[in-house]
């Protein structure tokens, strides 16, 4: 099968191509990127007025499979991913049971190849059962294709144990994805500590809850030399610390989620569980620092932390609802609308942070680029389309979003995974 994408504006962070160009796909590879390709193809796509970018690589999703299939599955999560232009995801291990050994990892990889439209890279847990007591078989999981380990959902509070995990990850050549939260400091908090929490009568989560662990983890990365990726950064001091780490030449990267660079705690007008996530929506100052960090490339990655939950669970009070919101189907549009349209990021930076940089962090040499020889994971994005986000239109099982009813500009037109069209004309092609 050959696909010829005509007249699109190619954004390729690897070759720095940034202009109108045709793209030819043959089988699972991109075989040519050139102006005016005229060879016949099985399928021709007119991408006039659209960006042609490397398929998005989301370093942080929760597919809830196995064990919590009522929230999401490899199939439903995969469909949501390709609708959002996401051609590879990193699935976090806080499944049921926790994905903490090579047999479980191999099983998910095997199943995902059949059940999921997007590529799934399973992330292995740091400790057995995410209990923070005994290290998981990190080497074994790395051998099964875990490109990173993570205790996401919580931090490994025992610094000595975490340091040992980092040493092993370093030896195995994989990264550590860090969820930064000092659980001893949370004290029942459900939203950002500040005036809005007081007004709503909620317990607060201060910035230091994140910052003290971010600082610790950077210092541990310095000692062990492991590649450390800080997940869902929400505070201005996280940005500062990553800047410092980079100045020192440490292999530390930072990730920001759309909700953290768009919303503040003041957007929580009432007691609504759909605004509850970890880390919480912070202050205007934090949001500005995250935007600035993305703009000046201190922050490398935009991920979703797609965290689906059942409606009955989320349509409860802030106190009762679980932490987490969905993101796969809104991330590209929100990023374009909030960062690219206003000139905070260039379109090329969007491609970098949503695809190229994640590919580098995972060590995927054949991904994150629309250029000859690469795997044909491609997204065609129409920056002119305006619409309103409606959670009923989500293909994810999770409808838990604070962005329902929000106006956005920019929509995924077509998603190609390994040379196969899996989303086109508003429809997922199973
Ligand atoms: N982000 C969240 O609020 N929730 C995540 C866990 C996590 O990412 O820490 C989840 O698994 O639901
Ligand atoms: Zn987390
Ligand atoms: Zn998460």
Residue 368 lies in a domain: no
Domain that holds residue 84: 56-362
State whether 212 and 241 are in the same domain: yes
Radius of gyration over every alpha carbon of the chain, rounded to an integer in angstroms: 20
Angstrom distance (rounded) from CA 402 to CA 210: 22
Residue 37 lies in a domain: yes
Residue 398 lies in a domain: no
Which of 315, 301, 399, 316 lies closest to 350, judged by CA? 301
Residue 353, pLDDT score:
99
State whether 70 and 119 are in the same domain: yes
State whether 411 and 341 are in the same domain: no
Residue 370 lies in a domain: no
Pocket flag, ligand 1, residue 234 (CB < 6 Å) = no
Strands of 35-183, DSSP E: 43-46, 51-54, 56-61, 86-91, 119-122, 148-150, 175-178
Residue 325, pLDDT score:
98
Whether 305 is a known active-site residue: answer yes
Residue 242 lies in a domain: yes
Residue 351, pLDDT score:
99
* Ordered per-residue pLDDT tens for the chain, 430 residues: 999 999 999 999 999 999 999 999 999 999 999 999 999 999 999 999 999 999 999 999 999 999 999 999 999 999 999 999 999 999 999 999 999 999 999 999 999 999 999 999 999 999 999 999 999 999 999 999 999 999 999 999 999 999 999 999 999 999 999 999 999 999 999 999 999 999 999 999 999 999 999 999 999 999 999 999 999 999 999 999 999 999 999 999 999 999 999 999 999 999 999 999 999 999 999 999 999 999 999 999 999 999 999 999 999 999 999 999 999 999 999 999 999 999 999 999 999 999 999 999 999 999 999 999 999 999 999 999 999 999 999 999 999 999 999 999 999 999 999 999 999 999 999 9
Angstrom distance (rounded) from CA 23 to CA 376: 10
Residue 258 lies in a domain: yes
Distance (Å) from CA 158 to ligand 2 centroid: 17
Residue 139 lies in a domain: yes
Report the CATH number at residue 15: 2.30.40.10
Pocket flag, ligand 1, residue 323 (CB < 6 Å) = yes
Report the CATH number at residue 117: 3.20.20.140
Residue 343, pLDDT score:
98
State whether 159 and 221 are in the same domain: yes
Report the domain count for the chain: 2
State whether 299 and 379 are in the same domain: no
State whether 275 and 422 are in the same domain: no
Question: Counting atoms of ligand 1 from 1, which one is nearest the CA of 324?
Answer: 3
User: Which ipTM score applies to this complex?
Assistant: 0.99
Pocket flag, ligand 1, residue 305 (CB < 6 Å) = yes
Please name the residues in contact with 114: beta carbons below 8 A apart, sequence gap of 6 or more.
Answer: none
Protein residue with its CA nearest to atom 9 in ligand 1: 153
Distance (Å) from CA 90 to ligand 3 centroid: 10
- Which pTM was predicted? 0.99
Q: Is 63 annotated as a binding residue?
A: yes
State whether 185 and 76 are in the same domain: yes
Residue 194 lies in a domain: yes
State whether 130 and 267 are in the same domain: yes
């Amino acid at each position: 099968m050959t696909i010829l994408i005509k007249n699109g504006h190619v954004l390729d962070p690897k070759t720095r191509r940034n202009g109108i160009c045709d793209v030819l796909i043959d089988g699972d590879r991109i075989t040519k990127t050139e102006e005016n390709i005229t060879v016949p193809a099985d399928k021709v796509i007119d991408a006039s007025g659209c960006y042609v970018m490397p398929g998005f690589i989301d370093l942080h999703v929760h597919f809830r499979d196995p064990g919590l299939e009522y929230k999401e599955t490899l199939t439903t999560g995969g469909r949501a991913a390709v609708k959002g232009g996401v051609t590879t995801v990193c699935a976090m291990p806080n499944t049921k049971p926790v994905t903490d050994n090579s047999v479980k990892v191999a099983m998910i990889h095997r199943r995902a190849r059949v059940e999921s439209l997007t590529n799934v890279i399973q992330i292995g847990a740091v400790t057995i059962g995410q209990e923070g007591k005994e290290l998981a078989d990190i080497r074994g999981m790395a051998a099964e294709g875990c490109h990173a380990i993570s205790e996401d959902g919580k931090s490994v509070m025992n610094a000595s144990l975490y340091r040992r995990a980092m040493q092993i990850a370093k030896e195995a050549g994989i990264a550590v994805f860090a969820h930064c939260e000092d659980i001893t400091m949370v004290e029942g908090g459900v939203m950002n500590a500040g005036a809005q929490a007081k007004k709503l009568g909620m317990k607060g989560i201060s910035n230091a809850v994140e910052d003290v662990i971010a600082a610790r983890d950077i210092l541990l990365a310095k000692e062990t030399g492991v590649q450390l990726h800080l997940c869902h950064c929400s505070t201005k001091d996280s940005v500062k610390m990553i800047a410092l780490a980079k100045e020192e030449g440490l292999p530390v990267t930072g990730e920001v989620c759309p909700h953290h660079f768009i919303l503040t705690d003041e957007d929580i007008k009432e007691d609504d569980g759909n605004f509850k996530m970890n880390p919480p929506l912070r202050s205007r100052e934090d949001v500005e620092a995250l935007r600035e960090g993305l703009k000046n490339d201190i922050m490398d990655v935009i991920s979703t932390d797609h965290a689906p939950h059942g409606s009955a669970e989320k349509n409860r009070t802030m106190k009762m609802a679980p932490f987490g919101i969905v993101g796969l189907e809104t991330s590209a549009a929100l990023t374009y609308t909030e960062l690219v349209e206003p000139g905070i990021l260039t379109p090329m930076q969007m491609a970098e942070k949503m695809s190229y940089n994640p590919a580098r962090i995972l060590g995927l040499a054949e991904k994150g680029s629309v250029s000859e020889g690469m795997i044909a994971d491609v997204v065609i994005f129409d920056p002119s389309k305006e619409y309103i986000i409606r959670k009923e239109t989500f293909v994810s099982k999770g409808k838990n979003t604070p962005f329902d009813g929000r106006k956005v500009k920019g929509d995924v037109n077509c998603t190609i995974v390994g040379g196969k069209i899996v989303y086109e004309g508003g429809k997922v092609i199973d």
